[in-house]
Structure 1
Amino acid sequence: MKTGSFLAALAVAATLATDVPAQETTIIVQSTTSTANSGLYDHLLPIFERDSGITVNVVAVGTGQAIRNAANCDGDVLLVHAKPAEEEFVASGGGVSRTDLMYNDFVIVGPPSDPAGIGGLTDVHAALRGIAESEALFASRGDDSGTHKKEMSLWNAAGVDPAEASGAWYRETGSGMGATLNAGIGMGAYVMTDRATWISFGNKQDHVIQVQGDEQMFNQYGVIPVSPEACPQVEAEAGQRFVDWLVSEAGQAAIGAYRVGGQQLFFPNAPEPN
C-alpha cells in the first residue's frame, strides 16, 4: 500500500473509532427499601447521573438481604440502616469503609382507638410493654431488615419476647415496609416504621403516629463501597465516586433538600472532610 493510501486508511479508522460511543458505566446500589420507597433516589440520582455520566441502578430490599447481596458481589455500593451489621460487613472484608450518611427516626403508628393506650408516649419501651400487656395487635416486618432489627432490639430492651405471641397478637408479615403497613392498617394493628416511609405512604387511612420522640428510635443510615479485593469485578472507581458525592457538600445538600408534602424526610450527617 502506498504511503498516502495507508495514511488515509488510518484517518478513516480513527474517525470510525471516535464515532463509537464510549461504554456507559453503570453501578448497582444494594439499598434498604425506605430510601427507595420514599422517593429519595428519584430526587438524587438524576443530579448525580447528570454530573458524573454514571448510571445508578438500585436494588431495594431489606437491610439484611442487601448486605447478603453485597457479600455475594451483587453490588458496587451498600446503603442501609443497621450500623452493627454494616460494621461487621466491613470488618469481614466485604466493604472498604463505612460512613454515616443521614438519619431520621422510627415511629409507632396505630389506629385512633389506641387499644393499648400508648398514644403520646415518648418512652418506646413503655409503649411496647403496653402493647404486649394489652395484647393489642402489632404487625412486624419479620424480615431481617434494618427496621426489623431495630424493632427486635427495642422489644428486647423492653423485656418482652414477642415471638412467644407469634400468630396471636404479634403478626409477622415477612414483607417490606409498605406491605407491612398495608397489612397492619387492614387489621387495625400497631406498626413500627421509619418516618420517611410513613410520610410518603399513601394508604394511611385513619392510622396516626402514636409514639415518637424517644432517642432510642434514632435511625442512622450508612454508605459503604463494596471491596474490590473481595469482589474483583466490582465497579470500584464509579462506586467510590457515588459514595464521595453522597457525602460531599453537594450530595448532603441534595439529601437535605428532599421534601414530601413540605416535610424533610432525611437529615444529612456525613462527617466533614479532614
Structure 2
Amino acid sequence: MIRRVLAAVAALALAAGCGTDQAAAPAGKELILATTTSTQDSGLLDDLLPEFTRDTGWRVKSLAVGSGQAIELGRRGEADVLLVHSPEAEVRFVAEGSAGPRRLVMHNDFVLAGPAGDPAGTRNQPAVEAMRKIASTGAGFVSRGDESGTHAREKQLWHQAGVTPSGGWYRSTGQGMGATLRVASETSAYTLTDRATYLTQKPPLEVLNEGDKALLNIYHVIEMTRKAGDRVQPEGAKAFADWIVGAKAQGMIGAFGEGKLFVPDAGKDEAALGS
C-alpha cells in the first residue's frame, strides 16, 4: 500500500494536481480515489469524503488530476476507484477489461467564459460557433491542455468548428481548472470551464455561452479490479461506488452549493440528460 500511495502521489505531482487526506478518519482500511480537479476545486469532496468514511470505515486518499490522468492511474493499478467526466475516454477504458462497473453519478455543465467586452462576439452563440469566432478573430483563449475531461470537450468543440488551434492567441497551461481560470482572467482571454469551478472561484470573467447540449458535463464512477494490478482494492472501490450513487450521497450532491453546482443523476436515463 505504501508503495502504491507513493507512486500515485508521484504521478499527481507530475500533473500539478492536489490531494485530500482525512487525517481524522479511523485507521485501517484505505482506498485511493482518482478524480478530477473540478470535484476538488469546487469543494464537493470536502463535503462527501468525511461522510463516506463515517458511514463505511474506509479512509480515502484522493488524487485530483485531469480525467485522462485519473484513468491512467486506474490503468496502472494505482487507484482503486475513479470519479471522472470524460465519457468517450471512459467507455474506451472500460472496454480494455481492467475496470469494473461504470455508473452515472451526476452532471453539471461547461460554460465558455471570457472578458466582459467579448472581443470575438461570442455572447449567446452556439458553442461551436463561439469557438469558431474566437479562432477567426485571434482573440485569446486559454486551454487546460492536460487531457482532462474539460480539455477533451474543448478539443471536441474545436474539431466540430473545423479549427486546429495554434498561434499566439492560443495558450495551454497544462494545469487544473482553477489555475487555468486565473491565467485567463489575468490575460483577459476566453476559456472553457465547468460551472462548479467557475462559481466557486468567481473569476473576473463573464459567462458568455451556456445551455448548449454540447456543453453537458457528465460524471461517472468507475470501479477498478485486480486485473489492473494486485494492489487494487475492489472491496473499497465497490464501497465507494455504492455509496456515491446511494440516497445519502445523491442528496448531498443535490444540496451542495445550494443546489447550483451539480445535479444528482444516479439511476436516471443518461440519454435524456440535458434535453
Instruction: Give the TM-score of the pair, scaled to structure 2.
Output: 0.85
Question: In 1, Cα distance between the equivalents of 2:67 and 2:83?
Answer: 8
**Paired residue for 1:214?**
212
CA-atom RMSD in angstroms? 1.4
Is residue 203 of structure 2 the alignment partner of residue 199 of structure 1?
A: no
**Which of 91, 110, 128 is 2:131 aligned to?**
128
**Which of 128, 146, 149 is 2:149 aligned to?**
146
**Which of 114, 118, 140 is 1:114 aligned to?**
118
Q: Is the 8 A contact 1:93 1:227 kept in 2?
A: no
CA drift at 1:172: 1.2
**Which of 234, 259, 262 is 1:266 aligned to?**
262
Question: In 2, Cα distance between the equivalents of 1:185 and 1:23?
Answer: 42
* Cα deviation 1:178-218 (Å, max 9, x = unaligned): 1111111111100100001101014x13x110111101100
Question: In 1, Cα distance between the equivalents of 2:89 and 2:27?
Answer: 35
Q: 1:265 is paired with a residue of what secondary structure?
A: coil
Q: Is the 8 A contact 2:33 2:82 kept in 1?
A: yes
Is residue 54 of structure 2 the alignment partner of residue 79 of structure 1?
A: no
State the AA in 1 paired with 2:155.
M
CA drift at 1:127: 0.6
CA drift at 1:57: 1.2
**Paired residue for 2:34?**
30
Question: In 1, Cα distance between the equivalents of 2:201 and 2:154?
Answer: 19
Question: In 2, Cα distance between the equivalents of 1:29 and 1:133?
Answer: 41
* Cα deviation 1:114-137 (Å, max 9, x = unaligned): 10111232x001111111111111
- Write out aligned runs for 1:6-85 (5 A): 24-85=28-89
Using a 3 Å threshold, how does the CA distance of structure 1 residues 263 and 115 change in structure 2: closer, same or farther? farther
Percent pairwise identity: 44
Q: 1:270 is paired with a residue of what secondary structure?
A: coil
| CA radius of gyration, larger in | 1
Is residue 216 of structure 2 the alignment partner of residue 249 of structure 1?
A: no
Q: Is the 8 A contact 1:101 1:270 kept in 2?
A: yes
Q: Is the 8 A contact 1:79 1:224 kept in 2?
A: yes
**Paired residue for 2:12?**
none
Using a 3 Å threshold, how does the CA distance of structure 1 residues 210 and 23 change in structure 2: closer, same or farther? closer
Gaps of 5+ in 1: 1-21
Question: In 2, Cα distance between the equivalents of 1:32 and 1:94?
Answer: 20
Instruction: Give the TM-score of the pair, scaled to structure 1.
Output: 0.85
State the AA in 1 paired with 2:221.
V
Runs of 4+ in 1 over 6 A off after TM superposition: none
